[in-house]
């Protein structure tokens, strides 16, 4: 019986040696240490043996059982470690693998243009300010020297907000120009004032290749002692040089805006024909890009400035036209159609 146990132990250990996974190990356990294993059977039969043999076989059988139990535990530990190492290796992040490309967008061409224009004025000492798009009639018209019944109101088809005062007035609107914020600035900001005001403006108009009911403008306003037409021309000329290129010709002509006196319009030489005349410039060789002028004394006065002491100049331009001129885009609606085939080009 002892010999049988010895053989059993040797066999078990030999087999254990060649086991390489947990599943096999479990089969091994059932085979050598399970309820139906030879070892268990021997242990169960101990009671039937003669006393002397019982002692010797019992002691040895128990020794074998403990030994096999320990060997099993150790093998299990080794196998689990190997398994862990393998799965860790399999799951490890391969940092050399290139990631999936993420679709990165970019700023809208209009936003790019706003930033570019603001940057130019900021470099000349201007500050960028913004204000409400839903505006009072007062700031959009009255404070800018455009009283009720003034014909200038007709040139800016207005979207009125459905809000009536007790007296039946409709004083709220979607601002028709960023000049409305200029009126607010003059009222609240201490001198010296040097601001540019970019933003959306609204006109009650149908869309076509050159009009949309919403578009972008940027206004400028300067108020200080000793500001003259020379500052106006110098500043705007410098802007045109920086934005359109060093050798682009610039032209100032008289124009009328109720909130400036005198008023001017500024044009640049046509980029397509170089001044010879073409379809883009309507055969004039010039393209008007902005309105400007010396801030009207009434506007200054209403904002709390003494026009005998303080003077100022202002300008306002449409932003959408700038990239249209620069890139030869012939339909303003492309900017607002969210067509990525168009937008991705900028």
Nearest CA to 300 among 152, 138, 140, 187?
Answer: 187
Nearer Cβ to ligand DAH (223/292): 292
For 225, list phi and psi in degrees, rounded to 5.
Answer: -80, 135
**Which residue number has the CB closest to ligand DAH?**
316
**What six digits make up the tokens of 16?**
């254990």
CB of 154 to ligand DAH, least distance (A): 13
| Closest alpha carbon to 297 in 260, 254, 255 | 260
**Which backbone phi and psi does 290 adopt, to 5 degrees?**
-160, 160
Please report how close the Cβ of residue 313 comes to ligand DAH at its closest, in angstroms. Answer: 7
DSSP string, 274-288: TTS--TTTTTSSEEE
Question: Residue 256 Cβ, how far from ligand DAH at the closest point, in Å?
Answer: 9
- To the nearest whole angstrom, how small is the minimum distance from the Cβ of residue 101 to ligand DAH? 43
Rule CB under 6 A: which residues touch ligand DAH?
177, 179, 219, 257, 260, 291-293, 314-316
Which residue, 72 or 264, has its beta carbon nearer to ligand DAH?
A: 264
Residue closer to ligand DAH, measured from CB, 199 or 291: 291
CB of 268 to ligand DAH, least distance (A): 16
Q: Which is nearer to ligand DAH, 39 or 236 (CB)?
A: 236
CB of 292 to ligand DAH, least distance (A): 5
Taking each helix axis as running N to C, give the angle between helix 38-45 and helix 51-91, from 0 to 180 degrees, rounded to the nearest 10: 150
Q: Which is nearer to ligand DAH, 42 or 218 (CB)?
A: 218
Give the nearer residue to ligand DAH in terms of CB position, either 76 or 255: 255
Q: Are 114 and 216 in contact (CB under 8 A)?
A: yes
Tell me the C-alpha distance between 321 and 329, whole Å: 9
Residue 225 C-beta: closest distance to ligand DAH, Å: 20
Buried b (16+ CB within 10 A) or exposed e, 41-51: ebbeeeeeeee
Q: Which C-beta is closer to ligand DAH: that of 126 or that of 315? A: 315
The CA distances from residue 254 to 217, 260, 291, 293, 304, in Å, are 21, 11, 10, 9, 27
């Amino acid at each position: 019986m002892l010999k049988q146990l010895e053989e059993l132990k040797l066999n078990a250990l030999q087999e254990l040696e060649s086991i390489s996974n947990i599943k096999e190990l479990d089969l091994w356990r059932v085979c050598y240490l399970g309820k139906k294993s030879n070892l268990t059977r021997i242990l169960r039969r101990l009671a039937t043996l003669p006393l002397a043999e019982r002692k010797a076989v019992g002691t040895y059988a128990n020794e074998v059982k403990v030994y096999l139990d320990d060997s099993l535990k150790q093998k299990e530990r080794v196998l689990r470690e190997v398994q862990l190492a393998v799965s860790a290796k399999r799951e490890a992040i391969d940092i050399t693998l290139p990631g999936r490309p993420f679709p990165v967008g970019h700023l809208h061409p209009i936003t790019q243009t706003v930033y570019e224009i603001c940057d130019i004025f900021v470099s000349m000492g201007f500050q960028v300010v913004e204000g409400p798009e839903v505006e009072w009639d007062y700031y959009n018209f009255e404070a800018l020297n455009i009283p009720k019944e003034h014909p200038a109101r007709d040139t800016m088809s207005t979207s009125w907000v459905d809000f009536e005062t007790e007296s039946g007035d409709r004083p709220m609107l979607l601002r028709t120009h960023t000049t409305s914020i200029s009126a607010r600035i003059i009222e609240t900001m201490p001198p010296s004032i040097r601001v540019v005001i970019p933003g959306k403006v609204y006109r009650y108009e149908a869309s076509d290749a050159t009009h949309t009911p919403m578009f972008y403008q940027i206004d400028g306003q300067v108020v200080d002692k000793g500001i003259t037409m020379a500052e106006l021309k110098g500043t705007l000329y410098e802007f045109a040089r920086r934005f359109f290129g060093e050798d682009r010709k610039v032209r100032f002509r008289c124009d009328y805006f109720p909130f400036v006196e005198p008023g001017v319009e500024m044009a640049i030489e046509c980029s397509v024909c170089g001044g010879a005349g073409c379809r883009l410039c309507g055969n004039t060789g010039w393209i008007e890009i902005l309105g400007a002028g010396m801030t009207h004394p009434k506007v200054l006065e209403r904002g709390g400035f003494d026009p005998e002491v303080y003077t100022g100049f202002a300008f306002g331009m449409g932003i959408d036209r700038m990239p249209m001129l620069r890139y030869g885009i012939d339909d303003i609606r492309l900017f607002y159609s969210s067509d990525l085939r168009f937008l991705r080009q900028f």
